Every structure is written in C-alpha cells, then in structure tokens.
A and B are shown apart, each in its own frame.
Chain A
Amino acid sequence: MGDDGILDLFTAAAERAEAESGEPPADGGALPSVPGDPPHEGAVAQSPPPRPAEPEPDVLSVSELNSAVRRVVEDAFAILWVGGEIGNWKRAGSGHCYFTLKDDRAEVRCVMWRGEASRLPMDPEDGMEVRLHAQPTVYEARGSYQLVVRKLEAAGEEGLWRLAFEKLRARLQEEGLLAPERKRALPRFPRTVGVVTSTTGAALRDILSVLQRRAPWTRVLVLGARMQGDGAAQEIAEAVRTLGSRPDVDVLIVGRGGGSMEDLWAFNEEPVARAIVDCPVPVVSAVGHEVDVTISDLVADLRAPTPSAAAEAVVRDGATLRRQLGEVQLRLRRALKASVDLRRRRIADAPRRLAQALQARTRPLELRVESVGVRLVRSTELLIAERRRRTQVLDRLERAMVGQIRRLRSDFGTVAGRLEALSPLATLKRGYAIPLDPDGGVLRRRTDFAEVDRFQLRVSDGRIACRVEDILDEEA
C-alpha cells in the first residue's frame, strides 16, 4: 500500500466522520484530528503552512503513522459483522489463527487470537461461508489493514458447531458406538453412584437432592471437573476414566446444567465420548436441558434430559422399595403357609384316602362276594320256597289222605257190614264148607278132586284135613 492508499484511507475516514457528524471538515481537505495522541495533534491537525514560509516539514516516523492510522480505523469502525468465504486458514503453533475472508472481488486479512480460536469446535474449511464478528484494525508492523475476529460462525445457526457435531457423530456411528445394542442396563440397586460434574454447579445439588429423597442409603462418589472452557473435555474424560474404573462404583452420572451450545461443547468432544464408551460401568449422560443433545448423550448407556432426571433414573424410589419388600414378605408367609396347610390337609386326609385306596382295592372282591352272597341267598330262598311249597303240597296231601282215610274208614263200616253179608264165612256159618287143594285153590268140581288125594275143608271155625275115598257119579 503506498502513500496514496494511506491518504485515501484518511480521506475516506474523514468523509465518514463528516457524514456522521453532519458538519463539514474544519478546513477543506484537512485531515481529521487523531484523538488521544497529543504529541502529533498540532502537526496533523493544523492546516499545512504555506510552503515558502516553512521550509522544514514535520516528518512522521512509519510507526507513528501506522499507529495513527490504526487509531483512526479503530475509531471509525465499531466491531461489526462481515460475511464471506474462508481462505488460507492456518492455525499457528501459538494457537492464533490466520486466514482471509473474501468474496468474488475482494479479500481481507483476518486474525483470530488463541483465546477465541480455542473455543471453536473445529477449524473451518477453506471455502466455507462464514460470518465474522470482527474489529477492523491495522497491523502496525506491516501497515496492513486486517480484521481481528472475535467470533466466527458458519452459515446457519450454530453452523460450525453443528458441523463438528455431525462429523464426530458420523465417525462414532461408523464405529458402531451409537448402536442401541451397545447400551447396557443400569444396575437396579446401585450401592455407589459416581458423579462427574462441577462440584460447585447446580447439577450436583440437583443430583444429590434427588438421591437423598429417593435413596438415602446410596453412597455418592463425586469427582469434580470443569464443565466448560479450555481443557474441560480432557478433565471430564479423565474423571470418567478414574471414577469408572473404581471397583466400588456401580454406575456413573456425567453431566451439567444447561447452557449455550458453546458452554456444553466439551460433551461433544471426542475425548469425553471415548471415555464414556470405554467406561466399565454403565454411564448416564445428563447434559443441559431436554432439548440439548450431545455426543455424550448419544454414546452413554442412558440419556437423561436433566441431571435430576439422571439421578431419578439410577436409583429406585425408597418408598416403592419398602412397599415391594412388604409384598415380598407377604408372599413369603403365604407360600410357607400354603406349604404347611397342604401338608396338614394331607395328614388330615390320610385316613380317608387310605380307606379310599383300600376300598378301591377290595371293591371288586366285595362285589363278587356280594353277588355270590346274593346268589346264595337267592338260591336258598328258592330252596326254602320250594321246600315250603312242597311242604304245603305234602300237607295238603296229608290232609287229603287223612280225609280220605277218614272217609274210607267210615265207608269201611258200611262196606264191612255189606261185606259181612257177602262173606263166605257167613255162608260157612250157615253150614257150608269149602274144599281147598293143598295150594289153597277151591275144588269146585268132581274132576278137581280127581287131581288130589288129600284136601282140606274150610269150615266156619277152621280147617279139616280130608281124604278122597271115591268119586261118585253125578247126582248119585
């Protein structure tokens, strides 16, 4: 930049000052005064003296000039927003960053000091559309105009942060570290809860108050770490490693209260993500409020919307637990009682069941005996009936016989009388005799006597032996 350039700049600044104040310059074409620089005030502010009268001009050193120009520039421009495209981004060993901002026709040198640059989530890429919150100034050593950048934002809201977030997320996803199946279940009843947070923050207060209310039997191990600013991510990661590897820690809460995306940024950095991924015990991440999702939330085993919610998630509520214990006790008693009752019933039942069993065994036999008995009885009855029938028959027979006999007997009397009349004995009594042969046969004719020598004569009161003397003729 030559002298003309500097003068142009001065002129431009003067014109701006004039335009702003609405007053014409004190002297046509004169330079404006440089405030706060008394030694040169007169020299610069006064109208140039007529050349012939003053042969010796005041000569400024380059440093004086550049310093003056810087003051003018800085006075003329408040800090402002300027948009453009990033080029030649360079992060020096000192931590300061240098680059150019350009559009299609012009460019301007930019510097971002270490303090601001370290808060960037990532280095912007060349060609990236950004806007800068910057102070125009002059680098006195080179006499070059440049922007001192306070803030650099990629286009869109939280552009650069969002971009860095997405890049890390994509990388972790590719490694499979965001997979749902990686999530571990939290212990149901942790004895010791590790907490990584700021020891002075509201988050710790919230966590402890929830734990105290719900599960005061819990032991809490706190490892403080800075939650934001330079090196916060490293501190958090280290604390997670330290607490997570303690054998007495059952579960870990990592988190902080709400803040800007920049405040929460440590939880979007890779060291923290790696520490959480590697942690031997389950990790609950609770960063900011509901709406803030960080990389920590994504890699943790559980994402809690707030620190209080994280505390709620890691412990069971004492009242619920006591109720559960009561139920368990009731069930225990019931189960034992049921088991005793069952046996008591069995013992009480034993005789009946024994009898039943026995009966089951003897029943068929009994049936058989029964049927045999029945048959026996039946046949006996039949016999008796038969006998009875027979007896009756006999009785009737006897009675009939007796009657018959009686009748016969009575008949006999009359018949006997008649028989008497008819009897040969009666005839014999009347004087007749019957000759009988030795065999008892009646000798009726002469010829009958011719057959025998001796015969008997039956008379009314006995027999007489007789001998045939002679057989006489008929009618002799």
Chain B
Amino acid sequence: MPDKHEMEPGLEERLRRLEEILAALESDELELEVSLSLFEEGVRHIREAEKTLSAATLRVEEVLSGGQTQPLDSEAGQE
C-alpha cells in the first residue's frame, strides 16, 4: 500500500534529480570521480524510472468511509 510507495522516490523526484545531474555533468568542471559517481546515480535513476513506467495496469482503489482503500471491483478502466 502507500508505505512502500512513500519510501522510494517517485518519477517526479527522479527526473528532477536527473536534470540536476545532467546540469552538473554538462557544465561543471568536476573531479572525474564525482562525474563518474553522478553518472552512475543517473543511470540508476533511469533504470528505476523505466521500471516504474513499465507497470502494465492501473491500480484503481476505492476509498472507504474509514479511510482505508480497496481495489475498485469494476471493469470501468478495462474498456
């Protein structure tokens, strides 16, 4: 549920971080070590983002009165 969801950075954070990394790599005179570790971090973010994007099916949940959620058992999304 939402917990695992909150731990990992989302696409938003990953893409923002990637932009930072690119800006640093493309403009700054960095130590080779730093460049390399930034590059590795960037590649990691890309992999994770791609993993996220590869999700096949929308998770649709209904919010119950207590605040819990349950999968919405409707074929609404599967047209």
Residue positions of A touching B, CB distance < 8 A: 187-192, 199, 204-205, 208-209, 211-212, 216-224, 242-243, 246-248, 318, 321-322, 324-325, 328-329, 331-333, 335-336, 338-340, 343
Pick from B21, B58, B69: contact of A216, CB below 8 A: B58
Kindly list chain A residues whose C-beta atoms are within 8 Å of the C-beta of B6.
248
Q: Do A208 and B58 touch (CB < 8 A)? A: yes
Query: Which chain B residue shows the least CB distance to A343?
Result: B32
A4: min CB distance to chain B, Å? 64
Known: A218-B58, A336-B35. 7 other contacts (CB 8 A): A188-B12, A212-B57, A222-B63, A242-B63, A329-B43, A332-B18, A332-B21
Pick from B15, B35, B59: contact of A339, CB below 8 A: B35
Roughly how many angstroms separate A340 CA and B35 CA in the complex, as a whole number? 9
Query: Which chain B residue shows the least CB distance to A342?
Result: B29
Kindly list chain A residues whose C-beta atoms are within 8 Å of the C-beta of B10.
189, 191
Query: Are A328 and B72 also in contact (CB < 8 A) when A208-B60, A220-B60 are?
Result: no
B61: min CB distance to chain A, Å? 5
Roughly how many angstroms separate A339 CA and B25 CA in the complex, as a whole number? 8
Q: Which residues, 45 to 75 on B, are CB-close (under 8 Å) to A?
A: 46, 49-50, 52-63, 67, 69, 72, 74
Q: Do A321 and B72 touch (CB < 8 A)? A: no
Residue-by-residue, is B6-17 near A (CB-CB < 8 Å gives 1, otherwise 0)? 100011100100
Q: Please tell me the size bucket of the interface on B.
A: 35 or more
Roughly how many angstroms separate A217 CA and B55 CA in the complex, as a whole number? 5
Pick from B5, B53, B76: contact of A321, CB below 8 A: B53
Query: Which chain A residue shows the least CB distance to B8?
Result: A191
A317: min CB distance to chain B, Å? 11
Q: Can you identify 25 A-B contacts, CB atoms within 8 angstroms?
A: A189-B12, A192-B5, A205-B77, A212-B57, A216-B56, A217-B52, A219-B58, A219-B59, A220-B77, A221-B62, A221-B63, A222-B63, A223-B62, A248-B2, A248-B5, A321-B11, A321-B49, A322-B53, A329-B42, A332-B22, A332-B25, A335-B35, A335-B39, A336-B36, A339-B32
Query: Which chain A residue shows the least CB distance to B52?
Result: A217
A113: min CB distance to chain B, Å? 33
Pick from A212, A218, A322, A328: contact of B18, CB below 8 A: A328
Query: Are A219 and B32 also in contact (CB < 8 A) when A189-B10, A328-B18, A339-B25 are?
Result: no
A339: min CB distance to chain B, Å? 5
A427: min CB distance to chain B, Å? 118
Kindly list chain B residues whose C-beta atoms are within 8 Å of the C-beta of A343.
32
Roughly how many angstroms separate A190 CA and B12 CA in the complex, as a whole number? 7
Q: Do B77 and A221 touch (CB < 8 A)? A: no
Q: Do A205 and B35 touch (CB < 8 A)? A: no
Q: Do B42 and A211 touch (CB < 8 A)? A: no
Q: Do B26 and A204 touch (CB < 8 A)? A: no
Roughly how many angstroms separate A332 CA and B50 CA in the complex, as a whole number? 15
Pick from B39, B58, B72: contact of A212, CB below 8 A: B58
Kindly list chain B residues whose C-beta atoms are within 8 Å of the C-beta of A221.
61-63, 69
